[in-house]
């Protein structure tokens, strides 16, 4: 039996558009002799639909679309479609009012629903917010082949592989006991670098452990901050790769189940990317392309400072949208170096994009004059530096508003982490393209990009980074060297290490403490940042939920030295410990 994976790129909420893509894939699959078509988790509405699910008319429309799709599909093709299903007994049994479901469509009808059993509620996932978990093993029989159905997280609880259990049940174990021939997993699994290798290793372990062939169908495309990488694949019961779809592109992957062998035959295996840099590059290009397309922008604008961050973002945007759709704006100040302007122009030429130059010196003087009375003889400082950045932010937004362009912001993860960026200034934009890319990765991406000839002018890569907001300023005056900073941030953000643990790894405790303070203090900026494309296992954004008004970082050192104590208040009369103003 031939089975096809429709690795599709849905738009959130575009029910008829997504159904159209499924329908087109179905016709294509039938033309190749396919009996069963797999689509990703929630393929009808796109993943993640988030609070659209609280809208009853949206849920109702999804049901109508599903019924219509069943009628429109070729009659001899069975299709698994991701959709939501109402939990009609929720008011009696308790629980959420929806299931995250897969519908089996065949012969013009919706034949059966399967409910997702394990609901991820960590990182960017909020599935317990919307869904009730299914309680039963899911399977159906097609042409005498018993097919187990799992949805994304359902296969992420192999306690042998993980060394721990994340959920009480393991759906693949239940299906193996039932004796199915084949397990399909319909997913919408967001990208982070290295994740595909992890997915294949994990499912290889489960395939071998339970002696089950597994077909994994993933969504592809960018939806706000999340990039779905595709890379759908199948494993036989020995855990060997039998097929793999392309990364970061829609695809239709055909795989054959051998009814005599009760196992999957070898099909077409698209290669994985050779380097992390190449993989991340394609992820970011897709993220920009889809955010622009799905928000109905064809053109983008960004500031070109002559620095490496804006250079990389300009290159990504050019690859995503075409050079004719990218406008780079140079906004030199009296503090800008000659090489900044030259480097930015050289970059624009390399990419073939249009650039324009708007000096900001006069506007800076205008603000100085306007604030002269109030600021008096205070010294030049952060306020004045930020004014420059916000003048540039205003100019860029004016251009974006005037011509209907999408403004891309260019800050990297390292500077967003420590707040080395100006809110309402260089943080401005509809999408923060490299907000999850640490500075050291920015360098390696540019090196990779230049490996077949110069794209990013070499001087942009080799010169010392500077915000150029005052004379002679260098990033390294305010921050530790980026290799040190990025290692501290990795330990802090991804590994949840304490200051003591990070210092024990060889870092200067004073620097570690300063970085931790900076990260905490920048929380208010990050809360107002544009969505940033997620490429790591922990990005700022929907998967990072920190209080702003918090005092943990200020008190933590007392615990690390075991020197903490609970002081005694002199008196407390039932009022706040702090003085109140009536």
Q: Does 82 bind a copy of itself (CB under 8 A)?
A: no
Residue whose CB is less far from a copy of itself, 274 or 373: 373
Is the separation of the CB atoms in 576 and 532 below 8 Å? no
Q: Which helix (H) or strand (E) holds 559?
A: helix 552-560
Binds a copy of itself (CB under 8 A): choice among 377, 462, 496, 510: 496
Binds a copy of itself (CB under 8 A): choice among 358, 484, 511, 518: 358
Residue whose CB is less far from a copy of itself, 111 or 527: 527
Q: Interface residues for a copy of itself in 431-490 (CB under 8 A)?
A: none
**218 CB-side CA count, 13 A:** 27
Q: Interface residues for a copy of itself in 217-236 (CB under 8 A)?
A: 221-224
Window of 147-155, 260-268, 291-299, 450-458 that interacts with a copy of itself by CB under 8 A: 291-299
Q: Does 164 bind a copy of itself (CB under 8 A)?
A: yes
324 belongs to the catalytic site: no
Q: Does 332 bind a copy of itself (CB under 8 A)?
A: no
Q: Does 527 bind a copy of itself (CB under 8 A)?
A: yes
Q: Interface residues for a copy of itself in 178-207 (CB under 8 A)?
A: none
Is the separation of the CB atoms in 351 and 326 below 8 Å? yes
Q: Does 38 bind a copy of itself (CB under 8 A)?
A: no
Tally of CB atoms within 10 A around 122: 10
Q: Does 173 bind a copy of itself (CB under 8 A)?
A: no
Q: Does 12 bind a copy of itself (CB under 8 A)?
A: yes
**What are the beta bridge partners of residue 39?**
none
2 belongs to the catalytic site: no
Task: Return the SS3 of 245.
Answer: coil
Residue whose CB is less far from a copy of itself, 74 or 484: 74
- The arrangement of strands across the sheet holding 251-258 comes to 109-115, 98-106, 78-86, 36-38, 2-7, 251-258, 263-264
Nearest to 465 by CA among 453, 477, 454: 477
Window of 79-87, 118-126, 259-267, 444-452 that interacts with a copy of itself by CB under 8 A: 118-126
Q: Does 17 bind a copy of itself (CB under 8 A)?
A: yes
Window of 108-116, 184-192, 271-279, 284-292 that interacts with a copy of itself by CB under 8 A: 284-292
Q: Does 161 bind a copy of itself (CB under 8 A)?
A: no
Binds a copy of itself (CB under 8 A): choice among 93, 452, 462, 561: 93
Q: Does 567 bind a copy of itself (CB under 8 A)?
A: yes
The Cα–Cα gap between 224 and 51 comes to 14
Binds a copy of itself (CB under 8 A): choice among 135, 260, 510, 549: 549
Residue whose CB is less far from a copy of itself, 238 or 365: 365
The Cα–Cα gap between 532 and 555 comes to 31
Q: Does 33 bind a copy of itself (CB under 8 A)?
A: no
Cα dihedral 570/575/581/582 (nearest 10):
-140
Q: Does 75 bind a copy of itself (CB under 8 A)?
A: no
**What are the beta bridge partners of residue 6?**
252
Mask for 412-431, x = binds a copy of itself (CB under 8 A): -----------xx---x-x-
Q: Which helix (H) or strand (E) holds 478?
A: helix 475-478
Mask for 367-396, x = binds a copy of itself (CB under 8 A): x-xxx-xxx--x--xxxx-xx--xx-xxx-
Binds a copy of itself (CB under 8 A): choice among 88, 260, 464, 555: 555
Q: Does 69 bind a copy of itself (CB under 8 A)?
A: yes
Mask for 300-329, x = binds a copy of itself (CB under 8 A): -------------------xxxx-------
Nearest to 7 by CA among 35, 43, 59: 43
384 belongs to the catalytic site: no
Q: Which residues, other chains included, contact 571 with Cβ-Cβ below 8 Å and sequence gap of 6+?
A: none
Q: How far is CA 238 from CA 187, 263, 401, 532, in A?
A: 22, 9, 56, 39
Is the separation of the CB atoms in 203 and 168 below 8 Å? no
Q: Which helix (H) or strand (E) holds 110?
A: strand 109-115
Q: Is the peptide bond before 48 cis (omega within 30 degrees of 0)?
A: yes
Q: Does 509 bind a copy of itself (CB under 8 A)?
A: no
Burial label, 345 (beta-carbon count in 10 A; 0-12, 13-18, 19+): middle
Catalytic residues: 41, 116, 152
């Amino acid at each position: 039996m031939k089975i096809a994976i429709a690795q599709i790129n849905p738009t959130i909420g575009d029910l008829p558009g997504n159904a159209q893509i499924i329908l087109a894939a179905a016709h294509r699959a039938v033309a190749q002799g396919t009996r069963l078509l797999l689509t990703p988790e929630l393929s009808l509405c796109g993943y993640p639909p988030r609070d659209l699910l609280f809208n009853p008319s949206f849920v109702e429309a999804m049901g109508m679309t599903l019924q219509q799709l069943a009628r429109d599909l070729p009659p001899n093709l069975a299709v698994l479609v991701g959709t939501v299903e109402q939990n009609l007994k929720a008011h009696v049994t308790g629980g959420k009012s929806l299931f995250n479901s897969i519908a089996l469509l065949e012969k013009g009808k919706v034949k059966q629903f399967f409910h997702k059993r394990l609901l991820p509620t960590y990182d960017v996932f909020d599935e317990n917010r919307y869904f009730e978990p299914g309680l039963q093993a899911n399977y159906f029989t097609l042409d005498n082949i018993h097919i187990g159905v799992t949805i994304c997280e359902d296969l992420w609880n192999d306690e042998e592989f993980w060394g721990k259990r994340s959920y009480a049940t393991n759906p693949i174990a239940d299906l193996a006991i039932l004796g199915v021939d084949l397990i399909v997993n319909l997913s919408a699994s967001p990208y982070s670098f290295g994740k595909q290798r992890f997915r294949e290793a994990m499912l290889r372990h489960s395939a071998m452990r339970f002696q089950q062939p597994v077909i994994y169908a993933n969504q592809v495309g960018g939806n706000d901050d999340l990039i779905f990488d595709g890379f759908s694949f199948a494993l036989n019961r020995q855990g060997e790769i039998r097929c793999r779809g392309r990364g970061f592109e829609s695809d239709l992957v055909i795989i054959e189940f051998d009814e005599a062998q009760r196992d999957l035959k070898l099909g077409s295996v698209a290669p994985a990317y050779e380097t992390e840099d190449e993989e991340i590059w394609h992820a970011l290009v897709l993220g920009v392309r889809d955010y622009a397309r799905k928000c109905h922008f064809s053109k983008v604008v960004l500031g070109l400072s002559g620095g490496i961050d804006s250079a990389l973002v300009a290159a990504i945007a050019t690859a995503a949208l075409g050079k004719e759709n990218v406008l780079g704006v140079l906004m030199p100040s009296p503090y800008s170096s000659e090489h900044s302007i030259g480097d930015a122009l050289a970059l624009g030429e390399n990419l073939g994009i249009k650039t324009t130059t708007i000096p900001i010196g006069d506007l800076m003087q205008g603000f100085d004059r306007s604030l002269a009375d109030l600021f008096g003889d205070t010294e030049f400082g952060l306020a004045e530096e930020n004014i420059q950045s916000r003048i540039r932010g205003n100019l860029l937004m004016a251009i974006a508003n005037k011509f209907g362009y999408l403004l891309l912001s260019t800050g990297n993860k390292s500077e967003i982490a420590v707040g080395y960026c100006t809110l309402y200034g260089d943080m401005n934009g509809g999408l923060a393209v490299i907000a999850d890319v640490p500075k050291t990765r920015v360098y390696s991406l540019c090196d990779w990009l230049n490996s077949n000839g110069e794209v990013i002018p070499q001087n942009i890569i080799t010169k010392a980074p500077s915000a150029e907001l005052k004379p002679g300023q260098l990033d390294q005056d305010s921050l530790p060297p980026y290799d040190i900073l990025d290692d501290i941030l990795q330990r802090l953000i991804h590994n949840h290490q304490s200051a003591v643990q990070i210092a024990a790894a060889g870092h200067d405790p004073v620097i570690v403490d300063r970085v931790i303070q900076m990260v905490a203090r920048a929380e208010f900026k990050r809360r107002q940042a544009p969505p940033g494309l997620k490429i790591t296992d922990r990005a700022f954004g929907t998967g990072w939920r920190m209080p702003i008004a918090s005092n943990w970082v200020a008190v933590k050192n007392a615990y690390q030295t075991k020197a903490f104590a609970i002081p005694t208040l002199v008196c407390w009369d039932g009022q706040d410990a702090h003085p109140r103003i009536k």
